[in-house]
Amino acid sequence: MTDVLLRITFAYGRSLTKMLRPLEASFTIMRATKETVDRYGYFRLGVEHILYGLDHLIFVFDCC
């Protein structure tokens, strides 16, 4: 079970970005009128990465 960052680029050049999670594993594309970004999804992913990815931070601080 993992999160997936999905980016769809339509033939006419616009794009759609969506965070898919195990409990929200699908979504419906209604209409793409402009570029849509799941900003809350990016923020949540970043916070989770820091809280649960301490090994990454230890690696960064250990290298400096």
Residue 9 has pLDDT above 80, yes or no: yes
pTM above 0.85, yes or no: no
Amino acid at 24: E
The pLDDT value recorded for residue 41 is 73
The pLDDT value recorded for residue 39 is 73
**Confidence band of 24 (pLDDT split at 50, 70, 90):** confident
Which of 26, 6, 19 is CA-nearest to residue 49? 19
Do residues 2 and 20 touch, judged by C-beta distance below 8 A? no
Do residues 43 and 51 touch, judged by C-beta distance below 8 A? no
The pLDDT value recorded for residue 49 is 76
Cα–Cα distance, 7 to 57 (Å, whole number): 27
